[in-house]
Amino acid sequence: RAKADGRGIFRFFEPAMDAMARDRAALEADLRRAIAEDSLHIDYQPLVGIEAGRVEGFEALVRWNHPERGLMMPDDFIPIAEDSGLIIELGEWVLRKACTDAARWDPPLKLSVNLSPAQFAYADICETVARALADAGLPPKRLELEITEGVFVQDAERGIAILSRLRETGVQIAMDDFGTGYSSLSYFRQFPFDKVKIDRSFIADMLHNGQARSIVEAIISLGRGLNLEVVAEGVETEEQLDQLRQQGCTQVQGYLISEPRPIGQFAGSVLSDPAWTAERRAQSRQA
Ligand code: C2E
Ligand code: MG
Ligand code: MG
Ligand code: MG
């Protein structure tokens, strides 16, 4: 409510804040309905082994086609889901749907699913993962969970305990977006990750910025020294790919290979012939 003391600035801002809060509340209600009505969907983005040039798995990325606002990307609604607690239901929906999809892929292909730190805080994520795998008939070794340092920030001991239980069931654990936020090397001493994903901001800058390039090099050598799979996300050019190959990166992901798409759009290509991307790249070079 506007203050009567003449500081008009409050009059100006408060209605705008109200509108934002109302907008958020409306979105939250819409999201609750979308989860219940199964109207979210998942796009998949291939992860390619740099040596063999073959698709080794897909990352599940959730999307929401809002009836009035159109297609919404995770950065538009995951924060709302996290603040409202809806992330528990949303996360379970993604896990169940993605595991069901992945159970139909050729066995070597793996599935990567992103987990929010909030899913560690408020629910039994081990139970949720185990049930999703069992119901889909997907072996745990074909699932990889991508987490960020946020899992350690609130309560590191609890985060490590839950990750350890998950890993004991046979699923793999990847550290996502490494190099941003509160990334700390000590996480790699506290927990045996299977994979580290280099944040795409470094890949975007590595060809024209010596610092970004040195950071990429350092993360790759850290990962290799710890015997981890090292993934570069956001690879958009052949030059980046060449550089990453020389530096010893093991997997790449990015628009150069494919944007995230509905899994049906990969049918007859990578799903049956994982070398598709190498061929496709060669073709696009000739074109
Ligand atoms: P992320 O896990 O780091 O996923 C990679 C993001 O980079 C995706 O954005 C992907 O579309 C984008 N990307 C991939 N290749 C390229 C490229 O070559 N260039 C550029 N510019 N971007 C590229 P998206 O799909 O918008 O997802 C954003 C973030 O939302 C994800 O980042 C992840 O943290 C989160 N997210 C997505 N799906 C889920 C989910 O099911 N659950 C949770 N908790 N978070 C999710
Ligand atoms: Mg990810
Ligand atoms: Mg990432
Ligand atoms: Mg990211």
Of 4-8, 134-138, 139-143, 195-199, the one with minimum mean pLDDT is: 4-8
Q: How far is ligand 1, taken at its centre, from the CA of residue 115, in Å?
A: 12
The pLDDT of residue 121 is: 84
Ligand 1 site, CB within 6 A: 45, 61-62, 73-75, 78, 91, 94, 114-116, 146, 176-177, 200, 233-236, 253-255, 260
pLDDT tens-digit map of 199-236 = 999 999 999 999 999 999 999 999 999 999 999 999 99
Residue 264 in tokens: 């049906």
Q: How far is ligand 2, taken at its centre, from the CA of residue 197, in Å?
A: 8
pLDDT tens-digit map of 67-106 = 999 999 999 999 999 999 999 999 999 999 999 999 999 8
Ligand 1 test: best mutation among 61, 251, 258, most atoms within 8 Å of CB? 61
Report the percentage of the chain scoring pLDDT > 90: 75
Listing DSSP states for 2-46 in one string gives --SSS-HHHHHHHHHHHHHHHHHHHHHHHHHHHHHTT-EEEEEEE
Listing DSSP states for the chain in one string gives ---SSS-HHHHHHHHHHHHHHHHHHHHHHHHHHHHHTT-EEEEEEEEEETTTTEEEEEEEEEEEEETTTEEE-HHHHHHHHHHHSTHHHHHHHHHHHHHHHHTTS-TT-EEEEE--HHHHHHS-HHHHHHHHHHHHT--GGGEEEEE-THHHHH-HHHHHHHHHHHHHTT-EEEEEEETBTT--THHHHHS--SEEEE-HHHHHHTTT-HHHHHHHHHHHHHHHHTT-EEEE----SHHHHHHHHHHT--EE-STTT---B-GGGGTTTTTT-TTHHHHHHHHHHH-
